[in-house]
């Protein structure tokens, strides 16, 4: 019988963490009996998991430590004979860890995807208490690991780094598909396309890109900014773009064709205030799209400055503007960056390597538990 693995999340929206989870589980399901448990609701990506043969179950929680909810999840895990519980994000990390221990699950792992992922000092304290109940804590970058060690005092011997991975096949779309996307968007032939692909939340700092573009528009009328992603911050961002008098900022909303969008993008920009290890950075590199990103979180672990991308200090709009203008005027530098970036992703950040490291960790911890 294959070891049974439950990955516990809040829900399955169209996000980088969730898409990566699907890609990894597809590669683990031949050797493990895998499932996803949502403690809030299903989410838009749930049907894709089920189409791939990965069951999605909802065990709703009324609160992180609600006794009835914990009992229901623990009972479910015990009846399933779950061998490994692997949780993601702060709330599932707390609820899933405790339920797993109540169910006497042999191996419990929590995943942390961002620096400073706690909202309050109380959450830091809670996480610190729960470290003793976990066999391992996975950080998506060394920056995230250092943050966990410093702030929540996680035991160093329990923390490991497994980088996010990319499926390179997804980022080699057909030329005819690229052509039809450009046509459907009515993209001007001469446009220099700058894309910001991220959830519409303050931490992604869309406003800093808008400020940079407002200056660049005075120099080059060719620039066009595509804002890709969903979220409740859209109306605020549209208001800011209007106030700045931006003529060519297009909001495309949530999209499922990011690999194609990156192929029509000249420059991918991520001016975030915080990141753990950005999926968009890796996806841009895999697509051969030069990246400019804030030097936060694990960005330096993915980008070698002026070699596989460009890093700028967070909030430094003048530097961001200068870098965009510089790359706009230098096709040769863009070609050099994208060639080296794609090779780096193939070598260090493949989805196969991420799945292989996860598999090794699972088997190692199961062996020790038995």
What does the pLDDT read at residue 155? 94
Which of 159, 144, 170, 141 is closest to 350 using CA atoms?
170
Residue 121 is predicted with a pLDDT of 86
What per-residue confidence (pLDDT) applies to 10? 95
Question: Using an 8 Å Cβ cutoff, are 158 and 131 in contact?
Answer: yes
Report pLDDT for 25. 97
Residues of the chain falling short of pLDDT 70: none
The pLDDT score that the predictor gives to residue 15 is 78
Domains and CATH numbers, the chain: 4-165+350-369 (3.40.50.2000), 168-348 (3.40.50.2000)
């Amino acid at each position: 019988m294959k070891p049974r693995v439950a990955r516990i999340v809040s829900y399955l929206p169209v996000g980088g963490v969730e898409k990566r989870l699907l890609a990894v589980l597809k590669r683990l399901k031949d050797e493990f009996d895998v499932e996803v448990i949502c403690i809030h609701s299903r989410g838009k990506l749930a049907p894709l998991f089920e189409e791939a043969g990965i069951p999605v179950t909802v065990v709703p929680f009324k609160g992180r430590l609600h006794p009835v909810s914990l009992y229901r999840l623990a009972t479910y895990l015990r009846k399933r004979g779950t061998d490994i519980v692997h949780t993601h994000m702060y709330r599932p990390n707390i609820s899933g860890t405790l339920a797993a221990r109540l169910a006497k699950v042999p191996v419990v792992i929590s995943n942390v995807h961002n620096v400073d992922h706690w909202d309050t000092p109380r959450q830091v304290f809670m996480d610190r208490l729960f470290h003793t109940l976990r066999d391992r804590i996975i950080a998506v970058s060394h920056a995230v690991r250092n943050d966990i060690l410093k702030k929540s005092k996680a035991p160093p011997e329990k923390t490991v780094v497994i980088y996010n991975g990319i499926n390179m096949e997804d980022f080699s779309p057909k030329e005819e598909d690229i052509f039809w996307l450009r046509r459907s968007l009515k993209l001007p032939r001469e446009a220099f396309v700058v894309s910001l692909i991220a959830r519409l939340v303050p931490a992604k700092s869309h406003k800093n890109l808008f400020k940079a573009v407002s200056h660049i528009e005075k120099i080059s009328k060719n620039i066009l900014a595509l804002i890709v992603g969903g979220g409740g911050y859209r109306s605020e961002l549209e208001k800011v773009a209007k106030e700045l008098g931006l003529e060519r900022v297009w909001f495309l909303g949530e999209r499922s064709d990011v690999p194609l969008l990156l192929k029509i993008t000249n420059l991918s920009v991520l001016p975030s205030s915080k990141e753990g290890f950005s999926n968009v950075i890796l996806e841009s590199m895999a697509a051969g799209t030069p990246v400019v990103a804030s030097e936060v979180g694990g960005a330096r672990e993915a980008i070698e400055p002026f070699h596989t991308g460009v890093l700028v200090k967070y909030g430094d709009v003048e530097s961001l503007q200068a870098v965009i203008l510089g790359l706009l005027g230098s096709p040769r530098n863009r070609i050099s960056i994208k060639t080296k970036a794609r090779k780096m992703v193939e070598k260090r950040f493949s989805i196969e390597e991420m799945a292989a490291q996860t598999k090794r960790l699972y088997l190692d911890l199961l062996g020790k538990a038995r």
